């Protein structure tokens, strides 16, 4: 027997090195029909052909629906307070396949398998049968036929069938509408907010559906009610035909906290672009203080120009949108400030905050203490309903009135600066996850507006006017 010389060893090493390369190229080839499971498939199976769609979905909140920290923490709090009956209620929207496969309880979710853990994923959405609106109104029976919007799709890996429900808001409405399971009262109602809005004409052909805003967004076009909502020509699968429009699968909303998820940076930029095309601000000066020692007043109007539902929507008992308004004189002296963030991270309580509050009867419940608290036995989820709702209707507006005093020595022109801010949750709420306060919830500037006030009405020359001698009549206004 010849001994293995150095060349031989090198040759073997070369072959060994090649094996992973060969395996990788086998994996990269489109999967054949035989390779798709007859049960729910991991989204990576679909990625072999639907590469682009996969990379859009990967890292989306749908992909993180059962693993994201905020959900986990909230869910743990609920289960602790309301007991095991809450488990299936929550999980049916956050891991529909985990619930269908009876992998819950245990409440902690350690039995959720590697596919169900993918949250709201391809094979769930493209095989599901909707049965209504809200509280997970669907049948999760899996099928090897993938349903979608195309009339003539041919795939080497699976049968296809056309279902027009994919083109409608009703498809999203199965989950984007949460009703209290016992009181039957609304908790989160994005679908109904859309249904009652001008975006729904009653005729699907002329309505602007959820998909028209949320599945047309690309990196360079936010696709809101305030922007164009362009076609996105391309291929739905590597081997598929060219088509005039492929629906994107980023599913971007307002929240952009998961920057370590795949494509986190791009997703954050897209969420910010969406928020910046949601609202418009206007300052309307009402009382012009004609000289020092008088009051001035103005209104700030927030119009929802971009969202097809209330602004904000969804988890709006947790999200915060508010006006941050500053009035300064020409020397920079602050005459009014409303909406600043205090040292503990809380928003100035006098600010105009647009959100919802949940509670029992008419009492608001502080979320960080007892969301869905179980007060009495057999009464799960005792937070019953929205007790207060200050949000902006689609294509509607809300106004906040402000008054300020012009003290002695103040200089004209007076400048009003109004900003509309958004953050995914209050700092209080974030501190539950990071008790050391190390996570600062990012504040996103949605819109801003400025105005100047000058006595006599004109600020053209910007010069300081001499206050008139005679005192103007009329009551002080706030
Ligand atoms: C071997 C490649 C391949 C794999 C793997 C694959 N598909 Fe497809 N799929 C295609 C092709 C090709 C089309 C047709 C595209 C077209 O007509 O534009 C298609 C079409 C579709 C459609 C559109 C159906 C319609 O009628 O509108 C859906 C939905 C779909 N696939 C879902 C999936 C899901 C979910 C998976 C993973 C479980 C998957 N596909 C895996 C190749 C594949
Ligand atoms: C939340 C549900 C949902 C998830 C998750 C989802 N899709 Fe879709 N998908 C849709 C809807 C809705 C449409 C059609 C939109 C329309 O017609 O208005 C669609 C369209 C498609 C199409 C047709 C081509 C197109 O984009 O227009 C394909 C193919 C497809 N999806 C594949 C996938 C794959 C692969 C995944 C996982 C990586 C996936 N989908 C995840 C809901 C979903
Ligand atoms: C199976 C239930 C289900 C269906 C169907 C569904 N979603 Fe979702 N969606 C969720 C859940 C759950 C989340 C939140 C996930 C999390 O906890 O991170 C979510 C999150 C989102 C977000 C991100 C919200 C944010 O705060 O940024 C958007 C946008 C969205 N969905 C749009 C849609 C659209 C559009 C459709 C219809 C084409 C749809 N969804 C269908 C369950 C669903
Ligand atoms: C006219 C365009 C438009 C339509 C139609 C629309 N949306 Fe939105 N959506 C937006 C904009 C803009 C935002 C960002 C502002 C905000 O957070 O409300 C948004 C945000 C969201 C959010 C994230 C809210 C948050 O801050 O956590 C969810 C969830 C959502 N939309 C779901 C839906 C669903 C479901 C439908 C259909 C029932 C729908 N949207 C219809 C434009 C639209
Ligand atoms: C009917 C479907 C449904 C049910 C039931 C449901 N959710 Fe959700 N959940 C959603 C949707 C849709 C969103 C996305 C809304 C948004 O982001 O504004 C969401 C978002 C969330 C988020 C925000 C995640 C984030 O990262 O911002 C948390 C937390 C959450 N849900 C917790 C729960 C808990 C706890 C329960 C059970 C008490 C529950 N959900 C029951 C559909 C549901």
pLDDT tens readout for residues 288-303: 877 777 889 999 999 9
- Per-residue tokens: 290: 């004609």
Residue 401 and residue 327 share a domain: yes
Residue 429 and residue 375 share a domain: yes
Rounded to the nearest 5 degrees, what angle is found at the Cα of 302, between the Cα atoms of 301 and 303?
115
Ligand nearest 169 Cα, by number?
4
Lowest mean pLDDT among 26-40, 202-216, 245-259: 26-40
pLDDT band at residue 429 under the 50/70/90 scheme: confident
Per-residue pLDDT tens over the stretch 124-178: 999 999 999 999 999 998 899 999 999 999 999 999 999 999 999 999 999 999 9
Rounded Cα–Cα distance for residues 346 and 330 (Å): 29
Q: Is residue 112 part of a domain?
A: no
| Burial call 70-104: b when 16+ CB within 10 Å, e when fewer | bbeebbebbbebbeeebbbbbbbbbbbbbbbbebb
Q: Which residues form ligand 3's pocket by a CB distance below 6 Å?
A: 61-62, 64-65, 68, 71, 93-94, 96, 120, 171-172, 174-176, 210-211, 214, 251-255, 314
Give the number of domains in the chain. 2
Q: Which of 274, 289, 320 is the last residue of a domain?
A: 274
Residue 301 and residue 230 share a domain: no
Q: Which residues form ligand 1's pocket by a CB distance below 6 Å?
A: 30-31, 36, 41, 45-46, 48-50, 122-123, 126, 146, 148-150, 153-158, 160, 162, 236-237, 239-241, 243
Residue nearest to ligand 2 atom 42, measured at CA? 125
CA-to-CA dists, residue 283 to 271, 298, 374, 445, angstroms: 26, 7, 44, 17
What is the structure's pLDDT at 317?
87
Q: Which residue has the higher pLDDT, 357 or 214?
A: 214
pLDDT band at residue 16 under the 50/70/90 scheme: very low
The CATH number of residue 387's host domain is 2.60.40.10
Distance 425 CA to ligand 2 centre (A): 29
What is the structure's pLDDT at 27?
38
In contact, 191 and 177? CB cutoff 8 Å:
yes
What is the structure's pLDDT at 375?
39
- Per-residue tokens: 255: 């929240």
Q: DSSP secondary structure string, 394-456?
A: TT-EEEEEEEEEE-TT--SSEEEEEEEEEESS-HHHHHHH-TTS--PPPPEEEEEEEEEE-TT
The strand pair at 159-162 and 145-148 is best described as parallel
Lowest mean pLDDT among 206-210, 250-254, 292-296, 299-303: 292-296
Ligand nearest 201 Cα, by number?
4
Residue 302 and residue 396 share a domain: yes
Give the pLDDT mean for 64-78. Answer: 87
Residue 303 and residue 222 share a domain: no
Residue 329 and residue 231 share a domain: no
Distance 261 CA to ligand 4 centre (A): 21
Ligand 1 atom closest to the Cα of residue 32 is 1
Residue 375 and residue 353 share a domain: yes
Average pLDDT, the chain: 85
Q: State the pTM of this model.
A: 0.91
Q: Which of 241, 274, 307 is the last residue of a domain?
A: 274
Residue 213 and residue 150 share a domain: yes
Q: Is residue 427 part of a domain?
A: yes
50 lines ligand 2 (CB under 6 A): yes
Residue 439 and residue 296 share a domain: yes
Using DSSP's 3-state secondary structure scheme, residue 335 falls into: strand
- pLDDT of residue 384 exceeding 90, the answer is no
Rounded Cα–Cα distance for residues 417 and 407 (Å): 19
What is the structure's pLDDT at 363?
58
Q: Is residue 387 part of a domain?
A: yes
Q: Is residue 150 part of a domain?
A: yes
Rounded Cα–Cα distance for residues 263 and 268 (Å): 9
Residue 314 and residue 219 share a domain: no
Residue nearest to ligand 3 atom 39, measured at CA? 172
Residue 268 and residue 224 share a domain: yes
Mutation test residue for ligand 1: of 147, 160, 161, the one with most atoms within 8 Å of CB: 160
Q: Residue with structure tokens 């020595």?
A: 409
**Nearest to residue 69, comparing CAs of 412, 450, 425, 453?**
425
Q: Is residue 475 part of a domain?
A: no
Q: Which residue has the higher pLDDT, 33 or 109?
A: 109
Helices (H), 169-297: 169-173, 190-195, 210-214, 264-276
State the residue range of the domain holding 399: 278-453
Q: Is residue 73 part of a domain?
A: no
Q: Is residue 105 part of a domain?
A: no
Q: Is residue 101 part of a domain?
A: no
Q: Which residue has the higher pLDDT, 38 or 309?
A: 309
Q: Which of 274, 306, 331 is the last residue of a domain?
A: 274
Q: Residue with structure tokens 């399971």?
A: 181
Ligand 3 atom closest to the Cα of residue 258 is 18
- pLDDT of residue 110 exceeding 60, the answer is yes
**Nearest to residue 391, comparing CAs of 453, 321, 458, 297?**
321
- pLDDT of residue 233 exceeding 50, the answer is yes
What is the structure's pLDDT at 137?
97
- Per-residue tokens: 448: 């801003």
Residue 400 and residue 316 share a domain: yes
Rounded Cα–Cα distance for residues 401 and 266 (Å): 37
396 lines ligand 2 (CB under 6 A): no
- Per-residue tokens: 162: 């056309």
């Amino acid at each position: 027997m010849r001994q293995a010389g150095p060349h031989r060893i090198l040759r073997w090493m070369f072959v060994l090195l090649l094996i992973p390369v060969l395996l990788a190229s086998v994996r990269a080839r489109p999967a054949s029909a035989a390779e798709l499971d007859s049960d729910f498939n991991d989204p990576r199976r679909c990625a072999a052909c639907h590469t682009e769609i996969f990379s859009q979905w990967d890292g989306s909140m749908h992909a993180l629906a059962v693993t994201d920290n905020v959900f986990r923490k909230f869910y743990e709090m609920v289960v602790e307070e309301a007991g095991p009956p809450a488990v299936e209620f929550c999980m049916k929207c956050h891991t529909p396949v985990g619930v269908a496969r009876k992998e819950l309880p245990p409440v902690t979710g350690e039995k959720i398998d590697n596919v169900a853990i993918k949250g709201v994923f391809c094979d769930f959405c493209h095989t599901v049968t909707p049965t209504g609106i809200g509280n997970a109104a669907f049948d999760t029976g899996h099928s090897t036929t993938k349903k979608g919007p195309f009339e003539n799709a041919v795939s080497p890996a699976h049968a296809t069938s056309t279902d027009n429900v994919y083109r409608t808001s009703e498809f999203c409405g199965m989950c984007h509408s949460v009703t209290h399971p016992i009181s039957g009262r609304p908790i989160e109602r994005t679908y109904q907010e859309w249904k009652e809005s001008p975006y729904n004409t009653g005729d699907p052909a002329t309505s602007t559906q959820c998909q028209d805003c949320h599945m047309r967004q690309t990196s360079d076009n936010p696709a809101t009610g305030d922007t164009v909502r362009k076609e996105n020509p391309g291929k739905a699968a590597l081997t598929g035909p060219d088509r005039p429009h492929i629906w994107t699968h980023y599913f971007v909303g307002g929240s952009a906290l998961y920057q370590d998820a795949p494509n986190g940076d791009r997703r954050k930029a897209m969420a910010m672009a969406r928020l910046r095309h949601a609202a418009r601000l206007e300052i309307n000066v009402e009382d012009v203080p004609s000289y020092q020692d008088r009051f001035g007043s103005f209104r700030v109007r927030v119009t929802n120009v971009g969202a097809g539902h209330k602004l904000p929507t969804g988890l709006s008992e947790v999200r915060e949108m508010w006006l941050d308004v500053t009035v300064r004189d020409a020397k920079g002296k602050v005459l009014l400030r409303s909406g600043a963030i205090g040292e503990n991270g809380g928003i100035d309580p006098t600010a105009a905050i647009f959100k919802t509050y949940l509670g029992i009867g008419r009492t608001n419940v502080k979320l960080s203490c007892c969301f869905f608290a179980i007060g009495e036995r057999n009464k799960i989820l005792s937070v019953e309903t929205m007790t207060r709702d200050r949000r902006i209707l689609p294509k509607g507006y809300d106004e906040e009135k402000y008054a300020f005093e012009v003290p002695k020595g103040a200089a004209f022109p007076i400048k009003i600066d109004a900003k509309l801010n958004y953050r995914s949750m209050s700092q209080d709420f974030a501190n539950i996850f990071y008790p050391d306060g190390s996570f600062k919830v990012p504040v996103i500037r949605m819109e801003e507006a400025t105005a100047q006030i000058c006595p006599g009405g004109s600020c053209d020359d910007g010069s300081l006017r001499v206050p008139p001698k005679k005192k103007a009549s009329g009551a002080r206004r706030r």
